[in-house]
Amino acid sequence: MRPSPLLALLAFVLVAAQAANAAPTTIPDAALKTAAELRERALADTLAWEITEGLTTEVGPRLAGSDADARARDWMIAKFKALGFDKVWTEPVTYPRWVRRSEHAEIVSPFPQALALTALGYSAATPEGGLRADVVGFASLEALEAAARDAIEGRIVYIGTTRMDEKAGRGYGQGSRVRTRGPSLASGKGAAAFLLRSVGPEDTRLPHTGVTHFDDGVAPIPAAALSNPDADQLERLLQRGQPVSLRLALDCGIEGEYTGANVIGEIRGRSKPNEYFLTGGHLDSWDLGTGAVDDAAGVAITTAAARLIAQLPKRPARSIRVVAFANEEAGLYGGKAYAESHRREIARAILGAESDAGSDRIVKVTATVKPEARDAIDRIAAALAPLGIAYDRAAPGAGGSDLSAVHAVGMAGLSLHQDTTRYFAWHHTANDTLDKVDLEPLRQNVAAYAVAMYLAAEAKGDFGSKPGAFAQKEP
């Protein structure tokens, strides 16, 4: 049977549509020229510094669920509005409200002295008046896993993995696995409390907090990190072979739920305003420092980059959406909420890149996009090269902390990897303060985000965002 003219037309349209869909995504030459101008303006801009200074000074520590959570939101809403963002709104995010009131530890015997530690997020409190128990030490999570219950029951479990040293290949992953898995494992074997060596490379007596997690059915126990010098001290005592008895007094714990919000500011695109580049950082911080490198800087870098794009004589085709995420620290709540509420329309988020590794220089770019968009990423990478940014074409890029949750529901991801040599010494500690932020690398970050965001927003074609697109590529 001959096909009817109508069917032939339909087939042509479908094929053409497929071809259009499969055509390579491109970056117009004119956009590269504008990107180069943005780059130069960013390198002389001070807005990222001003935002970092303002948020860390006028709000200070911003623990999710604390009074400062609301103050930070108000501050950020006002900032987006003052900067002339076209649309500013919030989207609610609900999470447990974990509170830290006080913490104290001391060696009772054999050699009485105080130890510097800090409770992990979601740590339980010690009983009224504190808890006293002997310490049982393990060299790894695996050694704890292998230990018999009666070696652990009623004791304080300490895991003293080798100090973090990124250069020696003992990175953040190993330590943070001890932090997230150790307390639950110890509690399951009847431990009275759990201590670990801080997940950080430095010899400063400021311990690193961070989130932990208790499995369903496992009772939360007091869980805390010793600073590296205090971990050294405890290990020296354990090595002397006498019983080591500690007193812990942690007043902290979960007090119900709290509803905060992602704070969102958008610069409207010229011709496809419903599509957007998704960027941002997280607005919350741990309570010990003022959250300068983690992550006021990320909010500041991406906001400043978006503002530079807003000031262009001609906007890019698509919008730039900056999200100041809620409660990243205690479980990526802001990112997960965004992913959940935007998953059906995730194709609109054409590409995403979050800044959440401090304020030092971006050294590398990677991306996870559809194959037809690889040439466009190549062009973006070439535009970033003058900033000293290498390009690893083969490596994935999930877009960064909160955005990893959004990437998991189908958003294409761009990762702008920073030099984290200094970052891991400061984040999650009292030392995360404004003095750790240097203007020149901060500007380089703004330049990189402005260039990448602008070029992607101006691209002809998309990067592959659609529901479920990259789910299988998650590590």
- Closest Cα partner for 297 from 352, 355, 354? 355
Among 87, 236, 393, 473, binds its own copies (CB under 8 A): 236
Residue recorded with tokens 């997960």: 336
Strand pairing partners for 390? Answer: 364
Q: Among residues 366 and 431, whose Cβ is nearest to its own copies?
A: 431
Assess 101 for contact with its own copies (CB under 8 A).
no
Among 3, 84, 112, 243, binds its own copies (CB under 8 A): 112
Q: Among residues 297 and 383, whose Cβ is nearest to its own copies?
A: 297
Assess 17 for contact with its own copies (CB under 8 A).
no
Site string for its own copies, 242-271 (x = CB under 8 A): ------------------------------
DSSP assigned state of 311: T
Phi and psi torsions of 459, nearest 5°: -65, 150
- Report, in Å, the least distance between residue 210 CB and its own copies: 17
Among 47, 144, 206, 353, binds its own copies (CB under 8 A): 206
Cβ contact 261:92 at 8 Å: yes
Size of the site for its own copies (CB under 8 A): 34
Distance CA 382, CA 470 (A): 24
- Closest Cα partner for 329 from 93, 67, 53, 63? 63
User: Half-sphere exposure (CA, 13 Å, Cβ side) for 160?
Assistant: 20
Among 38, 47, 64, 68, binds its own copies (CB under 8 A): 68
Stretch that binds its own copies, among 146-154, 258-266, 345-353, 429-437 (CB under 8 A): 429-437
Assess 436 for contact with its own copies (CB under 8 A).
yes
Strands 272-282 and 349-354: parallel
Number of neighbouring beta carbons within 10 Å of residue 46: 13
Distance CA 261, CA 283 (A): 10
Among 46, 57, 259, 341, binds its own copies (CB under 8 A): 57
DSSP assigned state of 424: H
- Report, in Å, the least distance between residue 444 CB and its own copies: 21
In angstroms, the Cα distances linking 204 to 1, 90, 158, 197, 207 are 82, 38, 19, 12, 8
Strands 193-197 and 156-159: parallel
- Report, in Å, the least distance between residue 322 CB and its own copies: 23
- Report, in Å, the least distance between residue 71 CB and its own copies: 8
Site string for its own copies, 284-303 (x = CB under 8 A): -----xx-------------
Assess 116 for contact with its own copies (CB under 8 A).
yes
Among 29, 67, 128, 216, binds its own copies (CB under 8 A): 67
Assess 41 for contact with its own copies (CB under 8 A).
no
Among 204, 279, 319, 418, binds its own copies (CB under 8 A): 204
Q: Among residues 24 and 112, whose Cβ is nearest to its own copies?
A: 112
Q: Among residues 176 and 228, whose Cβ is nearest to its own copies?
A: 228
- Report, in Å, the least distance between residue 229 CB and its own copies: 4
Among 130, 229, 273, 396, binds its own copies (CB under 8 A): 229
Strand pairing partners for 226? Answer: 117, 197
Q: Output the six-digit token pair for 250.
A: 């942690």
Distance CA 117, CA 179 (A): 13
Cβ contact 292:432 at 8 Å: yes
Residue recorded with tokens 């994935």: 396
Distance CA 154, CA 143 (A): 18
In angstroms, the Cα distances linking 472 to 286, 298, 369, 397, 408 are 32, 28, 13, 13, 8
Stretch that binds its own copies, among 52-60, 91-99, 131-139, 214-222 (CB under 8 A): 52-60
- Report, in Å, the least distance between residue 196 CB and its own copies: 18
Binding site for its own copies (CB under 8 A): 53, 57-61, 67-68, 107, 110-114, 116, 203-206, 228-229, 232-233, 236-237, 289-290, 429-431, 433-436
